[in-house]
């Protein structure tokens, strides 16, 4: 069985982290395969990405058995070749990425989830910045992403203490978008992917790019960048369709063009 399952349903690529017996902990093979699959999502026909885990976890982060293996990768390779490319590819992908957190998300597993565009979780899921428990610092962009999501103080406490929080707590503090009951989670989380896959893909990509730079830009710089991207959006077919559909009082049919 592959460590990453990949399926395309309509225009949505479904990526499933698939080492359930290890709580979908990342070994080298899984990290590299995830990168490969994220690259495949650049294809024009893909208009949304849905990432989840198989079994009871989303991901327990780095496979800790692999790091003590004498034949395994050193820390430098793990960060530079496994995690940094994954989170960079997700942030740069010009498609919305929905993370559907079905169970525990720990360490790099949590921070990969949190860099996705829309993060939803099952009621029984949980999040842990597990790094401090094993003498590491939070990686996979966590020290950048988490304070921006929930504020410096809460991020600091979660990262230093390494406490497990429930998905409800994560939702309350703004770490994730929504929690669904375990019974409806699969269906509801996938509906979000379906919804975004039918929206104007290019406008969503431009929005994502603006969000990527919004915390480093000054207000004036951001206004200039909004102008640039709005001009681009205004030249898309989907913009024409959006206006036409509004004037004709019908539902728009966006194609991603």
Q: Which is nearer to ligand T3D, 127 or 206 (CB)?
A: 127
- Smaller CB separation from ligand T3D, 96 or 109: 109
Residue 60 vs 99, nearer CB to ligand T3D: 60
* CA–CA dist 28, 3 (Å, integer): 10
58 binds ligand T3D (CB under 6 A): no
CA 71, CA 68: separation in Å to the nearest integer?
9
Is residue 136 a contact residue for ligand T3D (CB under 6 A)? yes
Indicate whether 134 belongs to the interface with ligand T3D (CB under 6 A): yes
Contacts of 227 (CB under 8 A, 6+ apart): none
Specify the 3-state DSSP secondary structure of 27: coil
Does residue 141 touch ligand T3D according to CB under 6 A?
no
Binding mask 219-248 for ligand T3D (x = CB under 6 A): ------------------------------
Please tell me whether residue 123 binds ligand T3D under the rule CB under 6 A. no
Asked if residues 18 and 3 have their Cβ atoms less than 8 Å apart, the reply is yes
Cα gap 237→257, rounded to integer Å: 5
Answer yes or no whether residue 117 interacts with ligand T3D by CB under 6 A.
Answer: no
Inter-residue contact 150 to 175 (CB < 8 Å): yes
Residue in 75, 223, 228, 234 binding ligand T3D, rule: CB under 6 A = 75
Going through the chain in order, the beta strands assigned E by DSSP cover 4-9, 12-17, 48-53, 57-59, 97-101, 104-106, 118-122, 126-128, 164-166, 178-180
CA–CA distance, 108 with 63 (Å, rounded to integer): 10
**From 16, 62, 201, 236, residue interacting with ligand T3D (rule: CB under 6 A):** 62
Q: Tell me the window of 43-51, 125-133, 169-177, 244-252 that interacts with ligand T3D (CB under 6 A).
A: 125-133
Residue 101 is a binding residue for ligand T3D (CB under 6 A):
no
Q: What residues line the site for ligand T3D (CB under 6 A)?
A: 22-23, 25, 60-65, 67, 75, 78, 104, 106-108, 128, 130-131, 134, 136, 139
């Amino acid at each position: 069985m592959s460590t990453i399952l990949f399926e395309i349903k309509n225009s949505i690529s479904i990526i499933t982290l698939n080492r359930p017996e290890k709580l979908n902990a990342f070994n080298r093979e899984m990290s590299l395969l995830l990168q490969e699959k994220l690259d495949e999502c650049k294809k024009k026909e893909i208009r949304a990405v849905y990432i989840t885990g198989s079994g009871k976890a989303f991901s327990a982060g780095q496979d800790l058995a692999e790091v003590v293996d004498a034949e395994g990768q050193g820390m430098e390779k793990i960060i530079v070749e496994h995690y940094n490319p994954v989170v960079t590819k997700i942030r740069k992908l010009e498609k919305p990425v929905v993370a559907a957190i079905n169970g525990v998300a720990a360490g790099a597993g949590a921070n990969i989830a949190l860099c996705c565009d829309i993060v939803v979780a099952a009621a029984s899921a949980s999040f842990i910045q597990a790094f401090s428990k094993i003498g590491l610092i939070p990686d996979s962009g966590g020290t950048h992403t988490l304070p921006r999501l929930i504020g410096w103080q809460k991020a600091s406490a979660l990262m230093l203490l390494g406490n497990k929080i429930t998905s409800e707590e994560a939702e309350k503090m703004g770490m994730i978008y929504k929690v669904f009951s375990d019974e409806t989670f699969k269906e509801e989380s996938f509906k979000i992917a379906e919804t975004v896959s039918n929206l104007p893909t290019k406008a969503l990509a431009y929005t994502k790019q603006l969000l990527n730079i919004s915390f480093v830009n000054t207000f004036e710089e951001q206004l200039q960048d909004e102008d640039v991207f709005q001009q681009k959006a205004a030249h898309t077919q989907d913009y024409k369709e959006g206006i036409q559909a509004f004037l004709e009082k019908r539902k728009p049919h966006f194609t991603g063009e």
